[in-house]
Structures are given as C-alpha cells and as structure tokens.
Amino acid sequence: MKKLLTTSLLTLLSLASIFAQNEKYVEAMTSSIALLDKVDKAKNDPVELQGIANRFERIATAETKEWLPRYYAAYCYTLMGLSGNSIVEKDKYLDKADGLIKESENLVGKPSDEILIMKAYAAQIRLAADGMNRWQKYGALFAENIEAAKAVNADNPRIYYLEGSSLLFTPEEYGGGKKAAKPFLEKAVAKFATFKPQSSISPQWGKMEAEWMLSQTN
C-alpha cells in the first residue's frame, strides 16, 4: 500500500512538472505570436522580425521536441525575404527559413499541411525576387507544395490565400491578374471564416492579407 501511494505521488509530481513546463511554453509562444501579429505586413521590418525570430529560436532551443517555434521562426525569415534590399539578402533570409522548415518537418515526422504551405510560401518569395530567371524552378516548387498541402488538408485557407496572391501579382499575359486571383481569394476568405486552429498557438496568419487582396480585385 505504501509503495502504491509513493508511486502515485511521484506520478502526480511528474504530471504537475510536465503541465508547468507546457504552460510556460504556451505562454512564451503566445507572447511571441502576439508580437508577430503586430508587425506591419506592408513593411515587414527586418530588424523587428529578426527580434521576434530570435525569440522563437530561443523557445526552440528550450523545447527541442516542439515544431511550432521553428515554424514561426521560419515564417519570420520568409517575411524578411520580402523586404531584403537585394536578391542576395533575400536569399540569405530564405535559406534560414528553409533550414527551420526542414527541422520542423523532421520533428513532425509526417506530412503537414502547414509546413507544406510554408515551403510553398518561401518558394513564392524566392520567385518574386527574380521572376524572370526563377519561374521554372520555384514556380514548380510552389505548385508542388500547394498540391501536397491540399492532399493533407484541402480546407486550410492559407492554401488558397497563397494561390490567390501568386496570381494577383502575376501579369495577365502569363495567366494572372485580378480576375484570375479573385476566385482563390474568395475561397480563402470563406474558409478563414470557418477555420478552427488546432490550438491557441497553431498557425492563424493570412486572413487579414487575404481580405485586403480580395478588396483589390473588386
């Protein structure tokens, strides 16, 4: 009986310790995501984003089995790829993003729509940096990861947001433009309206951007 009580007490203490660690992790992630949400996406200031990326990377160092800190750090670096001053600088940020995406993928250990979407996003930003010379490689990578994400979870609104944004900024003579983008952005906005993230710290980005882009197609 005494042995049973001792074992039960140790189990309870262990569970309490795990809960405290998880609570600390969620709090750190929540505060970092809140900072990320406040970033002006029209500017994507690299200095501001680097500071937030550093926070996520510190969380990743402490929480070695969690994929989300690396995912959010990759998102920061992908946004930084939009605002780099040169192709070399943009690629430096995106190389960092790709490495973190790979680490996230290894931790998840199975196909993840969110990680595939982030792969597509990074490819899209590389393509935007030098469309004339990169459309063949990165256009294919973008499409490949988008289709793979659909196979995992076709209800993820970020899929259609990225498809719509890609078309919106593609010239009409190459199959893009407002008319081509509008159905994808409408679908993204509709799916954002019913989308339920798995947890309070799961990816939720893209809704505001999709709504703004849709407004530009009218």
151-209 per-position pLDDT tens digit: 999 999 999 999 999 999 999 998 999 999 999 999 999 999 999 999 999 999 999 99
Residue 213 has pLDDT above 60, yes or no: yes
CB 115 within 8 A of CB 108: yes
Identify the pLDDT of residue 21: 55
Provide the mean pLDDT of the chain: 91
Residue 20 has pLDDT above 90, yes or no: no
Q: In angstroms, rounded to a whole number, what is the distance separating the alpha carbons of residues 134 and 141? A: 11
> pLDDT of 105-124, one tens digit each?
999 999 999 999 999 999 99
Residue 9 has pLDDT above 70, yes or no: no
Residue type, 155: D
Residue 18 has pLDDT above 60, yes or no: no
Identify the pLDDT of residue 42: 87
Identify the pLDDT of residue 11: 46
List the chain domain ranges.
2-111
Percent of the chain having pLDDT more than 90?
85
Give residues with Cβ within 8 angstroms of 107, minimum separation 6: 65, 66, 67, 70
CB 77 within 8 A of CB 100: yes
pTM, two decimals, is: 0.89
Identify the pLDDT of residue 61: 97
Confidence bin at 8 (pLDDT 50/70/90): very low
